[in-house]
Structure 1
Amino acid sequence: MKRYTCLTILFAMLFAVACKQKGSDAVGNETPNLPDTTEVKAIPAEQLISPGESIGHIKLEGSADSVMQLLGRPDTGDAAMGSQLATWYADHDTAGYQTSIFSRRDMGGKDEPVSRIKKILVTSPWFKTGEYISTGNNIKDIGKYYTLKEGNGYKRNGRSIKIYTDMAKGISFEIDENGKCVSILVHKPNSAADTYLNMH
């Protein structure tokens, strides 16, 4: 009798555990854990590429001096006729990720002393658009969000690079021969003068 009671209790415990596992699986199949899309979409301001406006804390029409205060002295630069190109490399290594700005003074204007940023370029995938587009993405992915027009090309380290621009939004993508984005540039929308400035 004692043995029968023990077996009954053991059977009841096993049945309860089995039912609990089955119920847990059923709930899991009906309501899978989905990621919080609002959290995924929230890109910090310092990483955000805003077409026609800014990359991170660097803003179009901001002063070049403010960027130098932020990033320090540029690793390379060139200046002529009121225009200036400044480039910073990660860890000051020319093989590292690149951030460049092209700025220009309004010669003869009341704002002449200030060199205003007209174009910004980055190569680091750390920077992303609101659609999570960054360097490393392919042109097909980029084309889902931007109306691209093929522009000029150039050679970099023996590779052919083509430039694709969404003029209305104020953003360009430099694409290598494998269709991969290697640089992203932000410029004023619908401004051919700023769009086609050479940053290399």
Structure 2
Amino acid sequence: MLLILRRLSFSLYIFLVLFLVSCDSESGKNQNKTPHKTQNSAEKPIAIKWSSAKMIIPGKSIGLTHLYESADSVFLLLGKPDSSDAAMGKMMASWYKNNHETHIFFGRKMGSEDETSRVKQIRITSSYFVTEKGVSVGSAIHQIQMEFPELKIAGSYISPQTHLQTTIYDDLQKGIAFETDAKNGCVGITVHKPNQQSYEIYNALYKVKME
């Protein structure tokens, strides 16, 4: 009887040892899995949602100003322009603040039922405004081309500030143009109607040599 009890005790001892080893091994596997999951989650890009007041949307808007919006509506939003020039149903309005410029080119269909003056092109020089992927004034041309690979040189002008050539790159289909200085940094962004060149706003501002 004593021999049987000893054998049972030994068997129970072996069982407990195997059980503890198994639990320790499983715990080690779980610990190894945890950092792996953390690493994968860290690799996922963080989505940035810009405020609508900051967004540049090609072919549509810059900030809260939209293409086809009436001039009256724009003036309510931005206030009276610091300068304006109108002729033959077209108007260029300009705002200057903190060394930054906002230029809006308006047009209206004279003789039509709706002769409302509406936004045709919008140009800004402030880095406050950004595209979906973060491109803004100050971005390098290679960064811009990553988001807009279809950009092509549309023209150039001599900057009245630096007296150096500024190059205009335009993505005609999307409706957005970028101006770059001699160091290939962006100094201005224009949003225009898709498949319509942005030369009107530039010709109103500078003597532009179009490609």
Pairwise TM-score range, normalised by the shorter structure: 0.7 to 0.9
Which structure has the bigger radius of gyration?
A: 2
Q: Distance in 1 between matches of 2:199 and 2:102?
A: 17
Percent identity over the alignment is 41
SS of 1:129's equivalent in the other structure is coil
Provide the residue aligned with 1:173 in structure 2. 178
Provide the residue aligned with 2:142 in structure 1. 140
One of 69, 72, 94 as aligned partner of 1:65: 72
Give the aligned residue type for 1:148: L
Q: Cα offset for 1:30?
A: 8.0
Give the aligned residue type for 2:55: L
Question: What are structure 1's unaligned runs of at least 5 residues?
Answer: 1-26
SS of 1:144's equivalent in the other structure is helix
Work out whether 1:37 is the aligned partner of 2:46.
yes
Work out whether 1:80 is the aligned partner of 2:87.
yes
Q: Distance in 1 between matches of 2:35 and 2:123?
A: 46
Work out whether 1:189 is the aligned partner of 2:194.
yes
TM-score, normalisation: structure 1: 0.77
Provide the residue aligned with 1:123 in structure 2. 125
Q: Cα offset for 1:31?
A: 3.5
TM superposition outliers: structure 1 runs of 4+ over 4 Å: 27-30, 32-36
RMSD, aligned α-carbons: 2.0
Aligned 1:143-162 pairs, distance under 5 A: 143-146=145-148, 147-156=150-159, 157=161, 158-162=163-167
Question: What are structure 2's unaligned runs of at least 5 residues?
Answer: 1-33, 206-211
Q: Distance in 2 between matches of 1:66 and 1:100?
A: 15
How many residues are treated as equivalent by the alignment? Answer: 167
Q: Cα offset for 1:160?
A: 1.1
Q: Distance in 1 between matches of 2:36 and 2:140?
A: 34
Question: Which whole-Å deviations, capped at 9, do the CAs of 1:30-59 have from their partners, x for residues lacking one?
Answer: 846949712xx2000000000000001100
